[in-house]
Structure 1
Amino acid sequence: MSQDYPIGTQGKPWGEAEKQEWYAQQTKQRDYENDVIRRIDHLREQFDVETYGELNYAGNSYPLFVVRSRKWRAELPTVLVTGGVHGYETSGVHGALYFLETEAVNHLARFNIIVAPCLSPWGYETINRWNPDAIDPNRSFKANSPAQECALIMTYLNQHKLAPDVHIDLHETTDTDNSEFRPAKAARDGTVNTNWNIPDGFYLVADSQRSEPDFQRAIIETVKPVTHIAPADEDGCLIGAPMVQEGVIEYDGKGLGLCMGLTDARFVTTTEVYPDSANTNPVECVDAQVAAIKGALEYAAKAL
């Protein structure tokens, strides 16, 4: 048994037996069709809805959807919104959907909009960071991706020659990062787990190769009236990374295989809300995601 996790042997990476043991313990806790597909269907009057692939896991089929501007105009810049790369991060999925239901129409004159609300529906249903193969999709956006969730959206964008100018990827940081997912990762990889300080509040992860600090700042300022911004810890960091400005850290998107490295968009960011905070609630977290997209588009509309 791993020191911090009930599957595997301390210091030894998982083989197929351990991955199957982990998979066997996962159970459906909510319904993708009812929670997500039904809301997508209600958007068909205003937007084009396309299926870009299907995941099949243990006899269960999960169709994957993008919702697009109906009147696509080649002369307009394009914005991509992705949610549910980590399926358990609830407000990422529901923030993407709520943006389409409320705010998106206000930007159709200035942008082509494409939204993939839930890239990892199995993870959504089982409240998981990984897919059934114990792979983290948000480390797998790379050539010959081992994660179907990544490969399918990458193929779709390439086939349709979609080159977004703006990409907002919607995420959460939760207490289960420390109680479940980081210990599981260490067990899977045969390493020692070190938990991180979970920030209390909203923050952004910018791409270190195209950080656009004014763009990130504009998003933070738009979110402030909706929910609180995470302060740095005693080391001046958020989740172990130095805070480069209020509420912003940086990762190498493409180098790490992150979803924000999916495109070459000039303006790119990853949102992070903290739903387990005593100072917020699920509705506020969704509203913060929508505010972040709004702030991103209002800034980009002036800059592009």
Structure 2
Amino acid sequence: MDNIDAGYPIGELGQAWGKAERDAWLSRQVRQRSYEEDVIAAIDGLRARFDVSEYGRLDYAQGSFPLVSVRTRNWRDDLPVMLVTGGVHGYETSGVHGALRFAEQHMADYARRANILVTPCISPWSYERIQRWNPDAIDPNRSFYESSPSGESAALMWLVAPLRGRFLMHIDLHETTDSDESEFRRALAARDGKVFVPGKVPDGFYLVDDAANPQPAFQQAVLAAVSKVTHIAPADANSEIIGSLVVAPGVIEYALKKLGLCASVTGARYTTTTEVYPDSPRATPEQCIQAQVAAVRAAMDYALAHA
């Protein structure tokens, strides 16, 4: 079976993980970078221009992590609210730094037309370990639902709950990496006691629309802006990207709420999830960050023009 060939070092084929396996997985996670130095320090540099607040704290055996948001000042009740989220999966680097770059360079440009809220790094423990899951081996981006087992997800839902009904746009910044195939999907199969079925990582940028609220013109406006920065992922031989039918060039659809995805939390009219491919030989880390920023700006421009 594929899962045997994959040789994931934890667990037994056909058996979901218990505590021993989760502990074994956790023991393998090594801190590789600093949330304090990379993210909190950058946010501190924004305090003179924007309101910065701690909306939660994650206390793990490996450390305590403040969850920090940045928002435009002097919010007005007559303006729509826009949400930018990054780092739901901590290993997806350009999502974190794209959100920070947008806040640093462009957020003030929109302050008179919208109330903007940015949460650059929802999963700081995972950011430090370049990991998809939190330390409980839970994927935060499948955990945005009531009584969530993920502290990362629960904190964001608490933050946005008072604003539901006011959100016009929410863009969630992600990456699809080669490590999705080499590590994370294999770990998922092992954790759940399932057979690993290999997939194909698309070369390029794509978007995930909401199957329950598709906004094709909005998605194409975002892609048009991003295409000036980096290339758009083509469909594979099955007219799919990561196993989902391509509904328009560079766009697939997911049932966001049913799957517990971050982009479902606001109920906004316009939602999208970006997927950058940082391992492409045709893209640099800087291009990946710029692609995220271009996506955010295009999403805001379109939403405001069609409010």
Q: Report the residue type matching 2:28 in the other structure.
A: Q
The CA distance in 2 between the partners of 1:242 and 1:294, in whole Å, is 26
Residues 77-123 of structure 1: CA distance to partner in whole angstroms, max 9, x if unpaired?
Answer: 11000000000000000000000011112211211100000000000
TM-score scaled by length of structure 2: 0.97
| Selected match of 2:78 from 47, 54, 75 | 75
User: Given the alignment, which residue of 262, 267, 272 partners 1:259?
Assistant: 262
How much has 1:262 moved relative to structure 2?
1.0
Aligned-pair Cα RMSD in Å: 1.0
Q: For the residues of structure 2 that align with 1:291 and 1:196, how far apart are their CA atoms?
A: 28
Contact 2:164/2:267 (<8 A) preserved: no
**5+ residue gaps, structure 2:** none
Q: Which amino acid aligns with 1:180?
A: E
Instruction: Return the offset for 1:159.
Output: 4.5
**Deviations along 1:219-242, whole A, 9 cap, x unmatched?**
000111100000000111000101
Residue 243 of structure 2 is matched in structure 1 by 240
Q: Does the aligned pair in 2 maintain the 1:157–1:163 contact within 8 Å?
A: no
**How much identity, in percent, do the aligned residues show?**
55
CA distance in 1, matches of 2:158, 2:34: 26
- C-alpha contact 2:72 2:107 (8 A) present in aligned 1: no
Q: What aligned pairs does 1:50-199 form with structure 2 within 5 A after superposition?
A: 50-159=53-162, 163-199=166-202
**Aligned counterparts of 1:235 and 1:103: Cα–Cα separation in 2:** 39
> CA offsets, 1:219-273, max 9 Å, x none?
0001111000000001110001011111000000000000011110000000000
Pairing 1:220–2:194 present: no
Q: Which residue of 1 aligns with 2:12?
A: 9
- What is the match of residue 275 of structure 1? 278
Deviations 1:146-200 (A, max 9, x none): 0000001111222466742100000000000000000000000000011221110
Match of 2:46 among 35, 43, 57: 43
Q: Distance in 2 between matches of 1:208 and 1:159?
A: 25
- The CA distance in 2 between the partners of 1:206 and 1:293, in whole Å, is 15
Partner amino acid, structure 2, of 1:79: M
Post-superposition offset of 1:294: 0.7
Question: In the alignment, what sits opposite 2:297?
Answer: 294
C-alpha distance in structure 2 between counterparts of 1:285 and 1:243, whole Å? 22
Equivalent in the alignment of 1:33: 36
TM-score, with length taken from structure 1: 0.98
- Residue type of the alignment partner of 1:53: G
| C-alpha distance in 2 between matches for 1:250 and 1:229 | 16
Deviates more, 1:156-165 or 1:192-201: 156-165
1:231 to 218, 229, 234: 234
Question: Take 2:132 and 2:94, find their aligned partners in 1: how far apart are those partners?
Answer: 14
Indicate the larger mover: 46-55 or 194-203: 194-203
Structure 1 residues not aligned, in runs of 5+: none
Instruction: Give the superposition deviation at 1:57.
Output: 0.9
Query: How far off is 1:59 after superposition?
Result: 4.7
Aligned-partner Cα distance in 2 for 1:60–1:186: 28
* Structure 1 residue 301 displacement after superposition: 1.0
Aligned length: 303
